[in-house]
Amino acid sequence: MDPRSLTPEELEQRRAAMMGIVGLWRDRTDLPDTETYIRNLRDDNRQERFEAQWRREENSSPEVEP
């Protein structure tokens, strides 16, 4: 959606919705602080593990002859 195509009322509704999200999880005690959380995401190698698993599965599957 291109914000330039919205009416002023629609833009205000969109802004209000986005501002409503700010601080949504502020008081959550089960989550680490933002900096720790982001650093953990950056250190996560899940994507590399999934790619390696996919390659192993792709290479181990029997070829189907036409």
Cβ proximity of 54 and 61 under 8 Å: no
How much is the pLDDT for 15? 93
pLDDT digits (tens, 9 = 90+) for 38-65: 888 888 788 888 888 888 888 886 665 6
Whole-number mean pLDDT of the chain? 84
Cβ proximity of 26 and 34 under 8 Å: no
Average pLDDT over residues 16-34: 87
How much is the pLDDT for 64? 59
pLDDT at 9 over 70: yes
* Residues contacting 6, CB < 8 A, separation 6+: 14
How much is the pLDDT for 65? 60
